[in-house]
Structure 1
Amino acid sequence: MSGPSRTQRPMSPLRAFFHHETSAGLVLMACALAAIAVANSPLAPDYFVTLHAYAGPLSVQHWVNDGLMAVFFLLVGLEIKREILTGQLATWGKRTLPGVAAVGGMAIPGIVYVMLNLNNPDALRGWAIPAATDIAFALGVMSLLGSRVPSSLKIFLAALAIIDDLGAVIIIAIFYTANINVAALLGAVFVFGILRSLCAANFQDLRIYLALGAVLWVLLLVSGVHATLAGVLLALTIPITTASATPDPARQTAPLHRLESLLHAPVAFAILPIFGFANAGVSFASITPAIMTDTLAVGVAAGLLIGKVVGIFGAVALMVRLRLAELPTHATWLQVLGVAFLCGIGFTMSLFIGLLAFEDPHMQDRVKYGILAGSLLAGVLGYGILRIAGRRAL
C-alpha cells in the first residue's frame, strides 16, 4: 500500500484526536485528584496562596484561566471548524443526530438546575454550569472499555461534544460578558477583520496569525468580553486549504491542520492538566450534611447526572422514533444510554463556566462540590452501563 502524498493533510486526524483526548482524560483525572489531595493536606495554604499570587497584571489562577485556556479554546475552535468543513459534521445528515442530542444535553440540564434554584435568585446565574460536557474526561473513560464500544459511538460522542463546546462558547460570549470597554472591543473587531482578510486571501504564515491573535487576546481582556474567546475567533480565521503552489514541503499541509497538530499535545498534556490542578482543588473540611440540601450544589450535580441523560438519550430516542435519524452503526440502546451518562462528566467546561458565573469563593466551592459529585457518579454509571452492554454485544 502506498503512503500518503506529501501534499495531503496528516493521515487520520480523527484517530489522532481520539488518541490525544483519551490520554488527556486520564492525565486530567490524575491532576484533578492531585489538586483535591493537596487542598485537603498540610500543603493547602501554600496551594491557595500560590494560585492567588500576582504575576504582573493577573494572578496565577487568572493567567491559567484567561491565558492558557485561550490556547485550549483555540484548539476547540480549530476542531469545530475542521469537523464542520471537512469532518464528521460536514453534512447536515451527519450533524443532525449529534446536533439535536447536544441541544437536548445543554437545555435539559439548565432547566433542571433552574427548577431546583427558583427560590435561590443568587444561584440562577449558574444555570449553564451543568450544560457542558468534558470531552477529554468522557473519551478517557470510554477508552478504558476498548473494543467493547463500537467506533461509531466514539465518533458520535466526539461530534456531540464538539457541538456542545460550540454551544458553551456561545453561552459564555452572550451570558458571561462583563461591562464592555467599547474602544477595546472596536479594536478587537478591527484586528479580527484583518485576520478574516488574511484568511480570505489564503495567507499561509501562521506566525502572523498567532501574533495578531495575541493582540486580539489583549484587546478582549481589556474589553470585558472573556479573553478566551480570542482563541475561538482566531481559529475561525486559520485557512483550511494550502496555497496553490509552494516549494516549501512544510507548508504543503494546510495551516489549520499544522496548528491543530502542534497544539494537541501541549493542550492535552500541559494546559488541561494545569487548569485541572489549579481549579479542582477544594477543601472538604467545611462539608456538612447540609450540602445534601444545598440547591446550588445539588442543582449542578442533578443537571449533570439527570439532565444530561434525559436531554441526550431523550433527543436520540425522539429522532430515531420519528425516523429522522438512525442509531450509530452497531450501537445498542443500552450503549447510547451509557454514552449519555458519560456526557454528564462536565469537569473542565463546567468548572470554567462556574468561575465566570460566581465571584464568591464559597459559591465557587459549592459549584465544585456539585461538579465533582455529578461528574463522578455520571462517569461511574456510564462506564458500568457500557461495560455491561459491551459484554452483551460480544
Structure 2
Amino acid sequence: MSHRRKARAPKAVAEFARYLRTETVGGMVLLAGTAIALLWANSSVSGSYAALRDAEVGPHVLHLNLTVGDWAKDGLLALFFFVAGLELKRELVSGELSRLKAALLPVIAAVGGMVVPAIVAVSVAWGDPRAGAVWAIPVATDIAFALGVLALTGTGMPSSARVFLLSLAVVDDLGAILIIAVVFAGTINLVALAAAATLLALYWYLQHKRVTSVWLYVPLAVAVWVAVHSSGIHATVAGVALGLLTRVKRDPREKESPGLRLEHRLQPWSAGFAVPVFALFAAGVPVNGAALSALATDRMALAVMIGLVVGKFVGIVGSALLAVRLKVAVLPEGLGRRDLAAVAMLGGVGFTVSLLIADLSLDAADAELAKAAVLVASAVASLLAAAMLVRRSKVHQED
C-alpha cells in the first residue's frame, strides 16, 4: 500500500507541473496574485500588507538585506527571466527565430512595439518633469498574461498566432532587460561586474564540457546572481544571461537538452510561484477616488496608459505591415492582417516588466500611480484583445 502511494506522488507532482505549464493556468494564477494584492492593499488591514512588503530579510553582507518586496522583484523575477532566456535561446537556435525570414517579422514588430510606445509616452508627458523617466514603462509585453488571454479567447486562431506572439514577447522582454541593464543601472562596481563575467564564463565552459551536476550549477547560479546584484546592474539580468548561455541543442545520446529540461522543470515554478508572488508585492496600489481621479488627469499616468494601449498596438501593427509591404518579411502561415491586429492588441498587456520598470524609474509615490496606470491599461488591452480574438476565432472556425 505504501509503495503504491509513493508511486502515485511523483505522478501527481508531474501532472500538477504540467498543469502549471499551460498558458491559461499561468495567466489565472498571475491574475489571482494581482487580485489578492489589490484587495489586501485596499482593505482595513492594508498596514499589514505594507509591513510585510517592506520588512527587511537577509544578511547585510554584500547588501543582501533586502525587503520582501525587493526579494520578489530582484530574486524571484530572476527565475522568470532565466526561463525567458532559455525560451529565447531555444527559439534562436532551433525555433522560429532560427530562420531569418520567419524571425524578421516578430523582431521588427517587437522593435516597433517598443519605439512607438516610448515616443507616445514622452509626447503625452511632454513638459512634465517625469517625462524623461516614464518612456520606458510601456515598452514591455507580459509573456504570461498575453499568452494566457490568447489561450483562453483565441481557441480558433491558427497556431502561428501563438508562435508570433511568443517570439514577439520574448524579443520584447530582452529589449526591456537591456533597457534595465543600461538605463537603470546604479553605480557600477567593476570588481563585482568582473566577478559576474568570470562566473558566467565558467557556467558556459561547464555547459560546453557537458557537465550536468546540479550541486555545481545551483551554487554557481546563486553566485552569479549575487555578483550581478552587487555590481549595480539589476539582478534580473543574471537570469537572462544564464538562460542564454545554457545549451539547448540535444546531443545524440540525450533524451532532451539541458535547456529544455530546465525549462520544463522551472517553468511551473516561474508561472506558479515567482511571477504571482512578484505581482502580490508589486500590484498592491491604493485604488480610491483620488487615485482614480489622478489616473484621468495626471499626464504621467495618461502617458503610461496611452503608450500601452495605443502605442503598442500602432507600433506592432504598423511596423509588421510595413515590413510585409516592403517584402522584408512575410506574415506567418494562416495569419491574416486582422489576426495580426488582434494579437498585436495583446502587446498592451505590460504588467510584470512594466511594473518592475515603474519601480526602478520613479520615486515611491509616482511609482504607485504609474503601476495603477499599468494595471488599468493592461486590463483594457486584455479586454479589447479578447473581443477581437473571439471574433477572429469564429471566422476561422467557420472557414
Amino acid at match of 2:295: I
C-alpha change, 1:290 and 1:52, in structure 2 (3 Å) is closer
Q: Identify the match of residue 90 of structure 1 among 86, 92, 98.
A: 98
Moved more, 64-73 or 145-154: 145-154
- 4+ residue stretches of structure 1 with deviation over 4 A? 16-19, 242-245
Q: Which secondary structure state, in structure 1, belongs to the residue aligned with residue 304 of structure 2?
A: helix
Q: Identify the match of residue 35 of structure 2 among 30, 33, 42.
A: 33
Question: Equivalents in 2 of 1:317, 1:203: separation in Å?
Answer: 45
Q: Is the 8 A contact 1:20 1:268 kept in 2?
A: no
C-alpha change, 1:206 and 1:126, in structure 2 (3 Å) is farther
Map 1:309-328; keep pairs closer than 5 Å.
309-328=313-332
Question: Equivalents in 2 of 1:326, 1:158: separation in Å?
Answer: 17
Moved more, 232-241 or 264-273: 232-241
Question: Equivalents in 2 of 1:302, 1:58: separation in Å?
Answer: 33
Q: Identify the match of residue 162 of structure 1 among 141, 160, 170.
A: 170
Amino acid at match of 2:350: G
Aligned-pair CA distance for 1:342: 0.9
Q: Identify the match of residue 217 of structure 1 among 202, 215, 225.
A: 225
Moved more, 268-277 or 228-237: 228-237
Question: Equivalents in 2 of 1:313, 1:364: separation in Å?
Answer: 29
> Is 1:265 aligned with 2:273?
no
C-alpha change, 1:254 and 1:206, in structure 2 (3 Å) is farther
Structure 2: gaps spanning 5 or more residues: 1-17, 59-64
C-alpha change, 1:52 and 1:109, in structure 2 (3 Å) is same
Q: Is the 8 A contact 1:209 1:234 kept in 2?
A: no
Q: Is the 8 A contact 2:56 2:66 kept in 1?
A: yes
Q: Is the 8 A contact 1:18 1:139 kept in 2?
A: no
In structure 2, what is the equivalent of residue 361 of structure 1?
364
Amino acid at match of 2:286: S
Amino acid at match of 2:177: V
Amino acid at match of 2:267: H
TM-score by length of structure 2 reads: 0.89
Q: Is the 8 A contact 1:309 1:340 kept in 2?
A: yes
Q: Which secondary structure state, in structure 1, belongs to the residue aligned with residue 286 of structure 2?
A: coil
Q: Which secondary structure state, in structure 2, belongs to the residue aligned with residue 178 of structure 1?
A: coil
Aligned-pair CA distance for 1:277: 1.1
Q: Identify the match of residue 44 of structure 2 among 42, 45, 48.
A: 42
Q: What's the Cα RMSD here?
A: 1.9
CA-to-aligned-CA distance 1:216-242 (integer Å, 9 cap, x gap): 111111111111111112122222245
Q: Identical aligned pairs, as a percentage?
A: 39
Question: Equivalents in 1 of 2:227, 2:319: separation in Å?
Answer: 39
Q: Identify the match of residue 307 of structure 2 among 295, 303, 306.
A: 303
Q: Is the 8 A contact 2:309 2:377 kept in 1?
A: yes
Question: Equivalents in 2 of 1:177, 1:54: separation in Å?
Answer: 22
Q: Is the 8 A contact 1:116 1:295 kept in 2?
A: yes
Aligned-pair CA distance for 1:154: 1.1
In structure 2, what is the equivalent of residue 54 of structure 1?
56
Q: Is the 8 A contact 2:20 2:268 kept in 1?
A: no
In structure 1, what is the equivalent of residue 61 of structure 2?
none
Q: Is the 8 A contact 1:221 1:227 kept in 2?
A: yes
Question: Equivalents in 2 of 1:243, 1:313: separation in Å?
Answer: 39
Map 1:186-201; keep pairs closer than 5 Å.
186-201=194-209
In structure 2, what is the equivalent of residue 283 of structure 1?
286
Amino acid at match of 2:340: V
> Is 1:75 aligned with 2:83?
yes
TM-score by length of structure 1 reads: 0.90
Q: Is the 8 A contact 2:20 2:271 kept in 1?
A: no
Q: Which secondary structure state, in structure 2, belongs to the residue aligned with residue 114 of structure 1?
A: helix
Question: Equivalents in 1 of 2:79, 2:276: separation in Å?
Answer: 13
Question: Equivalents in 2 of 1:105, 1:22: separation in Å?
Answer: 24
Q: Which secondary structure state, in structure 2, belongs to the residue aligned with residue 236 of structure 1?
A: helix
Amino acid at match of 1:333: R
> Is 1:232 aligned with 2:235?
no
Question: Equivalents in 1 of 2:155, 2:224: separation in Å?
Answer: 43
In structure 2, what is the equivalent of residue 248 of structure 1?
none
Question: Equivalents in 2 of 1:113, 1:121: separation in Å?
Answer: 13
In structure 2, what is the equivalent of residue 378 of structure 1?
381
In structure 2, what is the equivalent of residue 351 of structure 1?
355
Question: Equivalents in 2 of 1:129, 1:262: separation in Å?
Answer: 31
Question: Equivalents in 2 of 1:235, 1:326: separation in Å?
Answer: 29
Question: Equivalents in 2 of 1:176, 1:34: separation in Å?
Answer: 29
Q: Which secondary structure state, in structure 2, belongs to the residue aligned with residue 148 of structure 1?
A: coil
Q: Is the 8 A contact 1:204 1:242 kept in 2?
A: no
> Is 1:24 aligned with 2:26?
yes
